Chain A
């Protein structure tokens, strides 16, 4: 057992050294310490908004009980969006109050998204929707870029329902 323990120690040590050296020379190296709390995902979690990745968004897309809401600017929406999504740029939210009210009252799950994991338009929209009383609310974190890349159904202009 003593020998095994010594060998376990050697493996642990060698792994640590390799991790250290690899991250120094890696072309895609990451910082040793990072503030994850600044990420959109962490902020959404703090705001108690449910967050889902592409795989789950795709499953939800295949049911009819979900409305996808696109928080990107109208121009980006027109160029391409998740099939059936509703354009809801948060800058023009006030103009769309009646539609939002209808969507919230429909009882369907509202899934908001923007371009990618870094954009926070969808978080701002989700926060507004929550303040307006939306309870069945989800943030699709990977955004339209991943949706398109992994073959999710897309459409170009005009806007959804």
Chain B
């Protein structure tokens, strides 16, 4: 392995570690599923019948992706793709709600009532994470 490949490999690992930390820090969504379902409802993008099912599914999808990024090297690339798609979907949903003038938090990192409402900062944060995910994918390819 060349020096450049080693650098790319370290960058890939670091990005995976960052994403795993972010995803696994959402464990509160599993502990308090009703609160996360409320957060999903507050996006007003899904029909009533899909709100709870989606919220239950997303919280576990995030956990499984976080676990794979950290502990299952063979599944890292697949987990990165899913993370990237989730990020794009959530960013779009936040953007729509910002245009509608929502006052609620996105429920991304906390479901507590004192969580700050979604704002332009949420979009910027997600854009940075999207870039990081793309960077991780490129690094993974170049490290081979």
Chain A interface residues toward B at CB < 8 A: 4-5, 7-8, 10-12, 14-16, 18-19, 22-23, 26, 28-37, 39, 41, 45, 50-56, 58, 142, 146, 150
Contact = CB atoms under 8 A, between A and B. Distances in A.
B29 to A, nearest CB: 11
Contact of A33 (B44, B49, B57, B78): B49
Nearest to B68: A11
Given A4-B81, A150-B112, 13 more contacts: A7-B75, A7-B78, A8-B82, A19-B61, A30-B52, A32-B56, A33-B53, A34-B48, A36-B48, A37-B48, A52-B103, A53-B113, A142-B113
**9 interchain residue pairs of minimum CB distance:** A7-B78, A54-B113, A15-B61, A19-B60, A52-B103, A15-B60, A19-B56, A18-B60, A8-B78
Given A34-B37, A55-B117, A15 B57 contact: yes
Interface in B41-84: 41-42, 44, 48-49, 51-53, 56-57, 59-61, 63-65, 68, 74-75, 77-79, 81-82
Contacts of B104: 53
Contacts of A41: 42
B65 to A, nearest CB: 6
Contacts of A34: 37, 48, 51-52
Contacts of B64: 11, 14-15, 18
Contacts of A51: 103
B120 to A, nearest CB: 16
B51 A36 contact: yes
B75 A11 contact: yes
11 contacts: A4-B81, A8-B82, A11-B78, A11-B79, A19-B61, A28-B33, A33-B48, A34-B52, A41-B42, A52-B103, A55-B113
A36 B41 contact: yes
A129 B105 CA distance: 27
A5 B112 CA distance: 36
Interface in B71-117: 74-75, 77-79, 81-82, 103-105, 112-117
B57 A30 contact: no
A28 B59 CA distance: 15
Nearest to A52: B103
Given A50-B103, A53-B103, A56-B103, A7 B74 contact: yes
